[in-house]
């Protein structure tokens, strides 16, 4: 069964550094998402992406964040200048025909020191 994959599984970075989190969505899916989950808290929506553009974003997704689909398989989340409060698990998800039935990747644990 195809699954969403994410790399790296764990990223440690210093405050102020840029990080890029990578995701490979399920191959026939057209909608892509990023979520974050601070330890012990609920999953929070960051952004959705369809047809090479952002379709929805939350108030968390400010100018420090950007997403890109650099090729036919990868979907990336960039945080330009990381802050301590960016430490969280970041999940990528994908779906076929809209926001329903989203399948999540295993997550990248980002630790900002």
Binding-residue total with another protein (CB under 8 A)? 22
Of residues 30 and 43, the one with the C-beta less far from another protein? 43
Bridge partners of 47, per DSSP, are 34, 57
Length of the chain counted residue by residue: 113
Q: 47-66: which residues touch another protein (CB under 8 A)?
A: 48, 55-56, 58
Of residues 75 and 91, the one with the C-beta less far from another protein? 91
**5 to 14, 82, 107: CA distances (angstroms):** 25, 23, 8
Considering Cα of 81, then 35, then 96, then 3, what sign does the dihedral take?
positive
Q: Is 104 in the site for another protein (CB under 8 A)?
A: yes
> Shortest distance, CB of residue 20 to another protein, whole angstroms?
20
- Identify the residue among 19, 26, 33, 108 touching another protein (CB under 8 A): 33
Q: Is 107 in the site for another protein (CB under 8 A)?
A: yes
Q: 79-98: which residues touch another protein (CB under 8 A)?
A: 91
Beta strands in the chain (DSSP E): 5-7, 10-13, 19-24, 31-37, 43-50, 53-57, 65-68, 75-79, 88-95, 103-104, 108-112
Please report, as ranges, the residues that interact with another protein according to CB under 8 A: 4, 33, 35, 41-45, 48, 55-56, 58, 91, 99-107
């Amino acid at each position: 069964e195809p699954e969403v994959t994410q790399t790296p599984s764990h990223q440690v970075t210093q405050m102020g550094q840029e990080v890029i989190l990578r995701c490979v969505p399920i191959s026939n899916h057209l909608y892509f998402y990023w979520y974050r989950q601070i330890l012990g808290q609920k999953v929070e929506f960051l952004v959705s992406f369809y047809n090479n553009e952002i379709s929805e974003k939350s108030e968390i997704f400010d100018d420090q964040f950007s997403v890109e689909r650099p090729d036919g398989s990868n979907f990336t989340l960039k945080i330009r200048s990381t802050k301590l409060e960016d430490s969280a698990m970041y999940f990528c998800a994908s779906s076929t025909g809209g926001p329903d039935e989203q399948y999540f990747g295993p997550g990248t644990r980002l630790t900002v020191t």
